Structure 1
Amino acid sequence: MRVMIVDDEPLARARLAALLQECENVELVGSVGDSEAALSALSEAHPDLLLLDINMPGLDGKALAARLAHRTRPQIVFCTAYEAHAVHAFDLGAVDYLLKPVRVERLRDALRRVRQRLEAQPREPAGWLHARVRGEPIRMALDEVVYLLAEEKYVVAHRSGDALLLDDSLRQLEETYPQQLIRLHRNCLVPAHRLIGLKTLPDGRVLARLAGTEFSPEVSRRNLPNLRKLLRVG
C-alpha cells in the first residue's frame, strides 16, 4: 500500500513514518507539511492512502478530504489530537480516525480497513487525453495535467516540465470530464483538484492559484461564483 503523510508538524510526520516501518506491505511515498503540497504531489506519488492531519494552515485536512471525496484513491485516515471532528470526518468518507499520539496497533487496524475498502472497489477509471509528440499520437493521463489552454487553433495540455498539443477542443474535454475539469475562462480549463485558491488584484481582476505551478490564470466574472462555491465546499 502506498501511503502519504500530510501534517504540518515535523515530529508528527516523523513518528508516523517510524510507525509505518513497523507495518507490513506499506510504502511511504511522500511526507508533506500542508494540503497544497499534498495536492501537488498526488499526480506523481499516486498514494493509496493519506494519513491526514486536520488543523493545518491554509487548506485544512477536512477541506482537502472534501476535495478528494469523489476519488477511489487515495483513501483518507485522519490523524489528529482532537476528538471533536470525528463525525464530520466520517461524513467526508474517511476510513478511520486516529487520535494522537497514534499507537501502532490502531495504525495497523486502520491500514487493514483501508485495504478492505480498496479491495472492495474497482480502481478509479483512468482519464486519458489524446496528444501528439512530433506529429505522432500518444495519450496522457488526466491526472498529469496542471492546466489546459486554448491557443489559436490548438489546445495545449501543460504538465510539470512540458506541454503537449491535444486533438480535442476545450468544450469536448469539458463534456467528457465534467466532474474532473472546471472552467476558469473561455480559453482555460483546470483539473478541480489543482485549484487551491483565488487572488484578487488591485484592478479587480481575479487569478486562480493552482497546485503544481506558479502560473496563475485569470478567472472570468462568469465563472467566478462557481469557483468560489467549489472552494467553500471543498
Structure 2
Amino acid sequence: MAHKTIIIDDELLARKRIMELLTDRNEFDVIAECHNGEDAIGKINELSPDVIFLDIELKGMTGFDVLRNIHSQKMPIVVFATAYDYYAVDAFNNYALDFLLKPFKNKRFHETLERILERMQHLDYEERMKGFLDSLDGNLKKGHGSNTKKLPIKQDNKTIFLNTDQVKYVCASSYYAEIYIGEKKYVVRDSLKNLLHQLTDHQFIRIHRSTIINVDHILELVHSDYNEIDIRMNDLKLFRISKSYRKDTLTKLGIL
C-alpha cells in the first residue's frame, strides 16, 4: 500500500515540483496539498498522513509551528525544506531527520525518498522528533537559532556582513533586492521571501509584495481619505501597506 503523503509549501511551483518528482514513485500517494500552516494543521489532523513534505517558511507561521499543533495519533515522517536556516540543518543531522536544502536536485530528492522508506522501519521516530522540537525551542530561548543579527550578502568577490538592526527597509527590484542602511544601498540577487527568512527578528515586517520594513525605523502611519495606509520611515521615505498584508502588519504593530 502506498504511503499517504501531504505536500506543504506556500509556493505553487515548489508544490508542483515535488508532485512531479513523486509521479513515478508508486510508494507514495499524494492525498493533499497545502499552501499555508493553518490548512496544513487541519489536513494532517484529519487525514493522518504517513509522510509530509514541509516548507519551513510559511505565511503566518513556520513549519515547526505546524508540527507543534499536530494532534493525530501518529507523527508522520517529515521532510523539511529549507533555504537559509543553518541552525536547523545542524539539528536535522543531529536527530537524523530528513531535509531538502533548496534548491535541490532530482538525485537528492530521490535519495531522500529512499531514506524515508528505510525510516518507516524505525520505532523511535516520534521520540527523535520531540527531542528535535525541544532542542529548537531551547536554542531559540537562548537567543540562538535562526534569529540573524548579521546578514551575509555577496558584493563582487566578497561576502560582507550587515548589522540587521541598521537595516531600514528592503525593496524588490526585478530579480534583485535593494537593502538600505543609512545612506547606502546594497543590491543582491535574492528574493524578499528568502531575505525575510534571514531577518527573522520581530522588528522586520513585510508590508507589500515588494517591501520589508524595520519597525524600529518607523516614524508614523499616514491614513488617506481612500482607506489607504502608508508608513513613513525616519528618513521620510513613504511606503504603502498593501491590502493583502494590512491585517498582518497592523497586528504586528499592535494596532489591531
Query: TM-score, normalised to structure 1's length?
Result: 0.46
Query: What TM-score results when the alignment is normalised by the length of structure 2?
Result: 0.42
Compare CA radii of gyration and give the structure with the larger one: 2
Q: Which has the higher contact order (CA 8 A, sep 6+)?
A: 1
